[in-house]
Structure 1
């Protein structure tokens, strides 16, 4: 390959006597090419040097740029002091409130029926609600750190926090603000306002229950009046003496009497029919009346024989016994001589009486069925009326208890109560700012800033040195 700066072989043969001069031209061309390559290499080294730092560079920056590091440290501490002077101190104030439910029986507890942890969390939200906080802010003097146009309630809402303590019945109240004394007063006022809210809520709850009891009693009384009205209408449709039960008992007695009379008449008719069917002497023997007369006659004859043995024939007792025997004989003879026509008349009369009694019995039986339905309806109405009246009496007793609960709730003796187990107190020191921490952070940040500035200054110095060195090498080459 040929080079523009080198002569060809033909030229060398022609000018053989001037070789030293040709060598001098070759040396200058090579020097220029070498300097060009060296300049390119230095440029690449300078461009890569800006992003390369080693341990020696850090040590060199510390040794050669101590003043820069000291300046950064002083500036960092100064900024920390300015921050301490400018920042408003914040004081933490804490309190703990335990929640309990006081029942009328004297129990003090918050159980599963009250919601457990969810209930405590709800009460914590109520404590830090705007209504409670605004009432507390209104009860304490205005904070000194607030400007006239500032909203005290909004500032208190930002400064106050209520959090439930897990697994307990305790709510932790906290205040973080520039006025610790105001925070103590505010937390005390929040507890008082929360108690007032609890008392109001409990009173409203008991009052609603009281109204519900009264409304329930009114509904039951209206139902009782309606049933009583239906019962009166039932009595008007069935005019009887006394109650339906008494009417049924009286009608049952009437039915028993009618049944007895009907049975007697039917038996008498059957006996007459049997006598008529028997006929002759057997008719007299089968007649119950004839048997009775025969027995009385036998007794009278026996009595006559006894008195005749002991008394004279003209004695009044003997004559009376003889007359009785004669009367019984005549009656027995007349009864035995009764004709079938007389029996038929008696049978017809007995049958007519039996039909009349059967018709009367049927009427009384229907009357009994009607009275039985009347008794069932009256019994159902009376049962409902007694049950409703019992419910009214029970609700009235509950109403008395509810009135007592309402009065106790208004006095704050029942329901949820809030008791301070840790009263708010003044803190010893603010939680923010912390001078030691801020000064330490400022010193560290200032030192780091000074170190970075020292590295930047060292980099700039090296870049200037490299540039000056390259320029110094190029000038002899050009000459």
Structure 2
């Protein structure tokens, strides 16, 4: 079952149409008022003429309006240049000059509303419009505005590049000082650490350290081999005949020890050079020649020492050749062992130096990275400043922004306000809106039951039937079905039929009599009988002489069309709530 109480809060389109049809006089009144207002404006309104001019905005060479360079945006070029020029056209200093030239004495706010500047889309043109009460005045204002704008903008853009160059020059000097300070700090750090390229030097140091470890392992293996060789030679000497006791205490000459140290140092220098140069480089060749010369001198000294010892033996006794060769091999082995140990000592000192360097490397590289980052940042900013300065200088040499008056203002041939057709059309629309508003307001204020839409709006219940007199049996039977659909016989079983006018009483008595004992008299043969599965449906006539109305559960109203509810009756009917089932409308004067 449809909830009629909810429909009371909803304004339907059908009701609006019926309301406007009934209140057409208000609609017509609104339209007439709108047309009258439009005619008054057309006839008596102040004429406004508008003169139009067009200005072409030319940019310097290489700086189109669509360019995206930083300098173009700074100087006014770029995609927003036309909007910038439109704003420049409406600045107060420019319009004040125009007002002085035109000799118009009115507040600035009102004077500024005479001018409009609009960029023409996808072009380099700005369209300007100036209005006045006469065509000649509008043309003169537009001419003065365009002339003053050209003078103003040229002066403005002539001063702007010089100011920009000076500003960039000061910023460039400041950035150069900062760059110089960071560079001095970085240079002092490199001098203090005795470095030129820390990353490359660290890489080379790691490679040298790895080479030193490899050399140390090789020298250790060589030392062990020489010690075993010396032990073997000494054992063999003990088995040979002892002709000269002094041979046991034969020592390596000091000259050989000095040469061994020299050879070790030259070998280490040669290893370092091989990391930077090819083996056939002149520097490497020179060191190899020095090493070979030192080895030859060492062999000569050892040979002379052995010959001198055996020369003393030869004066006393015959020389044992085997003993002499073993003694010579022993001297050479001890000399090589001493040279190996000297080389190991030098390598250990260098290894310790590298390890100390590696322990200091994290702090050193962190400080160097920070200084380098500061230097690179300062250098980047300085480079950008130099580029901007050079572009500003080039802009100063190339030229300035140059607006050109493309289309001078012409004398307007008709006013822009008022326009008869537009004003009349707007008046009709506004009048129609006003008339509709008044018509709806009048319709909302009325409480006349004229049709089903008004009944639903005022009482929130449906119209059960619209009658022209006594009801035929078929309509009575259909009314019974409607009441059943609205809960009759199930939710409620009795209802009072109340006529709101005297000539509606016979119809109320007919309907009440038809449902007096839950039967419908003279039922139509082609319509099904009204079911009564949940009990009888009884209708009672409500009148001052019928006290049985108090026993009714629901209320049905019978009102003539055009019946007006007073305030008291309307409030009482609204307070009945769901007990009011519906309304039966009858034609005026019929029962």
Q: Is this a same-fold pair by TM over 0.5? A: no
TM-score by length of 2: 0.37
Bigger Rg, structure 1 or 2? 1
TM-score by length of 1: 0.44
Relative contact order (alpha carbons < 8 A, sep ≥ 6): 1 or 2 greater?
A: 1
